[in-house]
Amino acid sequence: MPSRKRVPAPLAWLLVAVALLGLAWAFLTPAWQSPDENSHFAYLQSLGERFDLPGDPERESYSTEQWQAIQAVNADQVAAVLATDPEWSEQAYERWRKSEDELSGPKRQDGGGPNPATANPPLYYLYTSLAYRAAASGDIFDRILAARVAGLVWPLLVTLGAWLLAGELFGRDRTLQFAAAALGGLMPMTSFISASINPDGMLYATWTIFLWLGVRALRRGLDVPTAFGLAAVTGIALVVKATSYALLPALALVFGVGLWRARRSPPLRIAATVGAAAAALAATGGIWTLIARGLNRAASGQLATPGAGSGLDLVQLASYLWQFYLPRLPWQDPFPNSTGLPAFEIFVKGAWGAFGWLEVKLAEPVYVALGALTLATFVAAGVALWRTRRSFDWAVAAFLALATATLLAGLHWTEYHFVLSGNPNFMQGRYLLPLVGIGGLALAKALTLVPPAWRMTAVAGIAGLLVALQLYGLGLVLQRYYA
């Protein structure tokens, strides 16, 4: 009798820890105190109440119900302003409670106007609107919590995806798989963002699964189920956020290599592989493109937003990139986004931990230590790769590098144009987190330099550090909003 496949115990316990931490973030963060959660909630409510996309210029951005609740908790004044606390008064809560009870159904439905999230594709919001509907009998804060809790599936999928991704490259080495998965699931920012109403959490999950399936296809061959899964997850990611267009070159690479390697296979099998992928893409991104055309809206509005009309100055672009990662040289004109070193100020700080509307920060020395550890991990991973260069899988390396480079290129291209048009605040550290699976791989590879007898101890220490960072972040949020 074939044995049933069971979830490995280390992974199962890790998932329990990830879920509990996600739950803590979902409860603790005050409503609308994470980046753009007010806009994301308005989008979600428009779908959940009216089954219609937001963006109608004739309508209000937020429903009456949302406005009242935002005012009751003083959310707009609190956002990004450390000195301002949310409303603590029970009397204020009771007054709001009374006004909420008096609200009629239409006051939940009179939003749907334009807001900064309107340009996003709808899949994340459709998914969370199921949770919203399930909590429809509750008040607005019940529905916010329901939508947040629904998002806890994303860090779980990131953890699972990182585990599987590491498994493809390191075999059944549970210690290295655990290290990669722990980084993906326990980074405070993945928990915080996934436990907020924000499509980025779903982006991290879809990208991590994409990376796993891509590596799987390159390692094991492009069979029909993998081709279907890879294309489907790409299509799903495209309907989550326009950022996912950065996956297309890596997808093309997998199919190019996979089909080249399978060129001597029966034509029918190749046709089935291509057909499955095309069907999966059509059933996800294709359908949304058709719907968007029918509704006369851009399938991915964000792609059209930056840089309209601004030309390309290669020297200036190179100067911008230099100043992002390296100290400015005396003859370079400063870019308005570069206070300090943006790679540190934005990427390191924003990816490791900046909560609320990014105003809740870790202590500066902690960021310095985290930046140094991150750099050391990538350097160590490079050394380990060099040592194993004879067994180097160039196709996998090219795939991972292409996914990374395309995301970074897209982000920098967008920011460069935003900066030129006078808006220097585009780039965010959390935009790197779709690549957290690759970060997990780098950590696992770096750990191969540790003697085997000490490797598990090192992994346990790293997992402990990640949970310590989570406790620190949760403590800061508790103190910032409620002390």
* Beta carbon nearer to another protein, 90 or 333: 90
Q: Out of 126, 141, 270, 383, which residue is the one contacting another protein (CB under 8 A)?
A: 141
Scanning 10-18, 113-121, 203-211, 235-243 for contacts with another protein by CB under 8 A, the matching segment is 10-18
Mark residues 161-180: x for contact with another protein by CB under 8 A, - for none: -------------xx--x--
Rule CB under 8 A: say whether 44 interacts with another protein. no
Among 47, 53, 73, 158, binds another protein (CB under 8 A): 73
Nearest distance in Å: CB 292, another protein: 34
Dihedral (CA of 470, 361, 205, 153) sign: positive
Residue 157 lies near another protein (rule: CB under 8 A): no
Q: How far is the CB of 445 from another protein (least distance, A)?
A: 18
Distance CA 206, CA 309 (A): 32
Nearest distance from residue 304's CB to another protein, in Å?
A: 34
Pick from 56, 64, 74, 321 the residue near another protein by CB under 8 A. 74
The answer to the question of residue 464 lying near another protein (CB under 8 A) is yes
Give the number of residues in contact with another protein, rule: CB under 8 A: 67
- Radius of gyration (C-alpha) of the chain in whole angstroms: 23
**Distance (Å, rounded) from C-alpha 119 to C-alpha 101?**
32
CB of 438 to another protein, least distance (A): 22
Q: Is 298 in the site for another protein (CB under 8 A)?
A: no
Cross-strand pairs, 354: 361
Binding flag, residue 81, another protein (CB under 8 A): yes
315 touches another protein (CB under 8 A):
no
**List 142, 223, 345, 359, residue binding another protein (CB under 8 A):** 142
Across 215-239, b (16+ Cβ under 10 Å) vs e yields bbbbeeebbeebbbbbbbbbbbbbb
- Scanning 88-96, 119-127, 215-223, 226-234 for contacts with another protein by CB under 8 A, the matching segment is 88-96
Residue 360 backbone dihedrals phi, psi, to 5 degrees: -90, 105
- Note whether 291 binds another protein by CB under 8 A: no
- At residue 354, what are phi and psi to the nearest 5 degrees? -145, 110
SS3 content of the chain, % helix, strand, coil (to 5): 70, 0, 30
Measured distance CA(11)–CA(48) in Å, rounded: 34
Which member of 56, 60, 64, 92 binds another protein (CB under 8 A)? 92
DSSP element (H, E) containing 233: helix 224-238
How many other CB atoms are there within 10 angstroms of residue 143's CB atom? 27
For residue 62, the SS3 value is coil
Nearest-approach distance from CB 353 to another protein, in angstroms:
14
Angstrom distance (rounded) from CA 294 to CA 287: 11
Rule CB under 8 A: say whether 340 interacts with another protein: no
**Residue 371 to residue 369: CA distance in whole angstroms:** 5
Examine residue 60 and tell whether it contacts another protein (CB under 8 A): no
Beta pairing partners, 360: 355
Quote the CA–CA distance of 201 and 195 in Å, as a whole number.
8
When the beta carbons of 169 and 292 are compared against another protein, the nearer one is 169
Closer residue to another protein, CB minimum distance, 195 or 250? 195
How far from each other are the two terminal CA atoms of the chain, in whole angstroms?
Answer: 59
Q: What mask, x for binding another protein by CB under 8 A, covers residues 99 to 138?
A: ---------------------------------------x
> Angle of helix 9-28 relative to helix 174-186, nearest 10 degrees?
10
Please give the Cα distance from 353 to 129 (Å, whole number). 28
User: Using CB under 8 A as the criterion, which residues of the chain lie in contact with another protein when the complex forms?
Assistant: 8-14, 16-17, 20-21, 23-24, 27-28, 30-31, 69, 71-74, 77-78, 81, 83-93, 95-96, 138-139, 141-142, 145, 174-175, 178, 456-461, 463-465, 467-468, 470-472, 474-475, 478-479, 481-483
